[in-house]
Structure 1
């Protein structure tokens, strides 16, 4: 679902509890694409925005390029592998 360029007028929405979380019913005219969102607070406002996923490998690699390079403390742990034993397959 494309996100409209102009926002409709503010509309009151219902808050409710879902187990230990608070949830909000989003009216259809404010529906977001996908099944995940990012949420953050700016003062008293909660900002909810769709999570954008890379559509292809090139977009994924472009996202990874934005990450900070690995530091000297960032390394893969040593893994003590058991040596492979010869197998008789005949």
Structure 2
């Protein structure tokens, strides 16, 4: 799978329909690793980046640090914790 940090020349790619989605055939010289991408728009451009997975705990914690803080709806509800009562099972 070719990957290069050096900028390559632009190339025309084919757009097509896949059910109700529009898809693009990515030429081999632009092939991305993995099986998932993140796509976002900047003006008229679509930016497609490979999804990267953390390879160690430090990278995982760094990814979590970028997440938005949890809000009130994400907190655990208060649960009334009543003590167990004796039961007569005979």
Question: How many aligned positions are there?
Answer: 81
Q: Counterpart of 2:51?
A: 51
Return 5+ residue gaps in structure 1 as ranges.
Answer: 84-90
1:40-79 residue pairs with structure 2 within 5 A? 40-77=40-77
Q: Counterpart of 1:11?
A: 11
Q: Which moved more, 1:40-49 or 1:61-70?
A: 61-70
Structure ranking higher on relative contact order (CA contacts 8 Å, 6+ apart): 2
What is the TM-score when the length of structure 2 is the normalising length? 0.73
Q: Counterpart of 1:28?
A: 28
2:78 and 2:5 map into 1 onto residues whose CA distance is 51
Are the aligned partners of 2:2 and 2:29 in contact in 1 as well (CA < 8 Å)?
no
Cα distance, 1:77 vs structure 2: 4.3
Name the Cα RMSD after superposition. Answer: 2.4
What is the TM-score when the length of structure 1 is the normalising length? 0.73
SS at match of 1:62: helix
Are the aligned partners of 1:2 and 1:33 in contact in 2 as well (CA < 8 Å)?
no
